[in-house]
Amino acid sequence: MSQGFNVAVAGATGAVGVEMVKTLEKRNFPVRSLKLLASSRSAGKTAKFHGTDVVIEEMTPESFKGVDFALFSAGSDISRDYRAAVVKSGALMIDNSSAFRMENDVPLVVPEVNPEDARLHHGVIANPNCTTIIMLVAVAPLHRAKKLIRLVAATYQAASGAGAKGMAELAEQTRQLLNGEAVHPAAFAHQLGFNLIPHIDSFQENGYTKEELKMLNESRKILHAPELMVSCTSVRVPILRAHSESLNMEFAEEVTPEEVRAILSKSPGVIVMDDPAQKIYPMPKDATEQYDVLAGRIRQDISRHDKRGIDMFVSGDQVLKGAALNAVQIAELFV
């Protein structure tokens, strides 16, 4: 028998599931056998893995027998429904949904930031929200050096955050609008083509959305910084793929843009793109299909009387580092 691990991908036909399979292949993850699991609608279809057709199976509680790693991207309800079966089978569930992120006994892991937390699992490890991952890959090294105490973020989130259907709707709306046709939003609350929607996920009593509060709660958990203050405004933008974020950061110690660039240039998973004179800065088109988070527009916050504030702009591929890649990297911690 060949060396390696038995891997299952749950939600294998979705945008993130497809990228999980591609990422396992591109990173040469040691796969002995691969199970692709989806709903009954997709059962019987095939997908390529290292040039071989793999038949997609209908997911059942028995699907995880003999599986070492179960990568889930099938939605919170399905993750909750299958958690017991996966853990009972002895597989490690790496879940991309929001179902378990804030449970005390479920590690919330970004491998570049808190890999040690992964070892504390009880059968389940959670993938953070995509915007949290992209932000913390660039912010965590600064926090370790200078201690972040407050962060104000505005996110510019691509259609890919709503999955394949969101990307398809944006592409179709763009065509319709250019041809003078009427549009009929379904994946989003409003027309996304040539528009911005300052509304992602459901609104809460305090006026923030769940998406915005994830940035606060997940950052505190991942950084082990319960007193960290975060305020976020999440905006859906007419970009197919890759999220961007404008970050205003306040640190406990003084810090200069030169120090920030020096720290990030040595940080895993970050590429510094910061030369405004040459028009070099992060953009979603450059982050698309890239593993690393792009960081730039690094400058001193001139609204402060001290030098404890930094502004920065980041872009990262929501489907990869924000989801599929991060999940595979978590599995790699155990290889």
Catalytic residues: 130, 243
**Structure tokens that stand for 258 in this block:** 């030169």
Instruction: Identify whether the C-beta of residue 89 lies closer than 8 Å to the C-beta of residue 112.
Output: no
The CB-side HSE value for 179 (13 A sphere, CA atoms) comes to 9
Residue 25 CB: number of other CB atoms within 10 A?
A: 15
The DSSP output letter for 324 is: I
**Structure tokens that stand for 186 in this block:** 């379904």
- Please list the residues that pair with 8 across neighbouring strands: 35, 70
The CB-side HSE value for 296 (13 A sphere, CA atoms) comes to 21
Contacts of 262 (CB under 8 A, 6+ apart): none
**Structure tokens that stand for 91 in this block:** 């597989």
With b for 16 or more beta-carbon neighbours within 10 A and e for fewer, the 132-156 pattern comes to bbbbbbbbbbbbebbbbbbbebbbb
Q: Measured in Å, how far apart are the chain's first and last C-alpha atoms?
A: 18
